[in-house]
Amino acid sequence: MSSPKYIRYHGLLLPPSAHSMESLEFAQNFSVEDTDVFAVTYPKSGTIWMQEILPLVLSGGDLTPIQTIPNWDRVPWLEEKRLALIVDQLASPRALVTHFPYHLMPPSFLTSKAKVIYVMRNPKDIVVSSYYFHQMAQFLEDPGTFDEFMEKFLEGRVLFGKWTDHVKSWRHAELGDRIMYITYEEMVQDLPAVLRRISDFLGRNLSEDTIHKIAEHCSFKTMKANSMSNFSLVPKLYMDSDKSPFLRKGVAGDWKNHFNSEQLARFTSVIYKELEGESFSLPWSL
């Protein structure tokens, strides 16, 4: 059952504070350019991290965008209301983010040469991150207990539906060398290595000095202190960081502090069952 706090779009639950039927229609009619770069994520997989990384990689390490433009305007969400207001101000090549599954991408994307970086994160850490996000984001439903929230997550009664559906849709996207897959865990483990891959994928030939400079500016600590990236510009009425900061822990494996053994068994069996018979395998064991 859909909550009154959300609107429904092609079966997906979305918060009306960020999305409207007009913004979703705008996204469908969006004119994608061949030079556009999309970071695609299921929510809580590292979206704002990519909003920091992409402008830096695309500009060869220029700090101006990340220090002067809030993340939602420098790398906007394809599906959110803001896009129509700021689209004309975007620097070329444009970088955007989206939580859309592949089949909801605009027709102009499919026929373009635009590139995609799909960021995947262990769903056990996603459900934990999302649980805290629902406590701080006042425009979202109260998550209830962790146990209740996990059930909602497994049933797909959360923003952008089931994690497994999202991953399947993008793993099966027929985009050839237009798409690269990375994981949040790789970024935590060795950000410079991931930055090198992104830089190659986007045809940038960044020096080691630039790679390391970018890694430093995209570290959890630096982003947490950057008012253009930490959502401190958003009124408390919408995001209450006293309840939980948006940049919360920034680690892999926090699920171990939240799951009990029954929850782990149930979570693992549901996710594995939904991925049974798939041609791809997960980059980590659950």
Q: What amino acid positions are annotated as catalytic residues? A: 99
Closest CB 194 distance from ligand A3P, rounded Å:
11
Closest CB 44 distance from ligand A3P, rounded Å:
4
- Helix, strand, or coil here: 239? strand
Closest to ligand A3P by CB, 30 or 77: 77
Say if residues 270 and 276 touch (Cβ distance below 8 Å): no
Give the one residue of 9, 36, 46, 114 binding ligand A3P; rule: CB under 6 A: 46
CA distances in angstroms from 87 to 31, 32, 84, 96, 199, listed in the order given: 11, 11, 6, 10, 24
User: For residue 270, which of 99, 156, 100 has the smallest C-alpha distance?
Assistant: 156
Number of residues that bind ligand A3P (CB under 6 A): 21
Say if residues 6 and 15 touch (Cβ distance below 8 Å): yes
249 scored as a contact of ligand A3P (CB under 6 A)? yes
Segment lying near ligand A3P (by CB under 6 A), choices 5-13, 27-35, 212-220, 264-272: 212-220
41 scored as a contact of ligand A3P (CB under 6 A)? yes
Give the one residue of 32, 218, 239, 270 binding ligand A3P; rule: CB under 6 A: 218
Closest to ligand A3P by CB, 4 or 82: 82
Tokens at 195, concatenated: 């930055």
CA distances in angstroms from 5 to 16, 98, 117, 232, 264, listed in the order given: 7, 21, 30, 23, 29
247 scored as a contact of ligand A3P (CB under 6 A)? yes
Half-sphere exposure of 217 (CA within 13 A, CB side): 26
Give the one residue of 23, 47, 122, 169 binding ligand A3P; rule: CB under 6 A: 47
223 scored as a contact of ligand A3P (CB under 6 A)? yes
164 scored as a contact of ligand A3P (CB under 6 A)? no
Give the one residue of 212, 248, 258, 266 binding ligand A3P; rule: CB under 6 A: 248
Tokens at 245, concatenated: 């900061």
Q: Give the contacts of 190 (CB within 8 A, at least 6 positions apart).
A: none
Binding residues for ligand A3P, rule: CB under 6 A, are: 41, 43-49, 125, 129, 132, 188, 218-220, 223, 247-250, 254
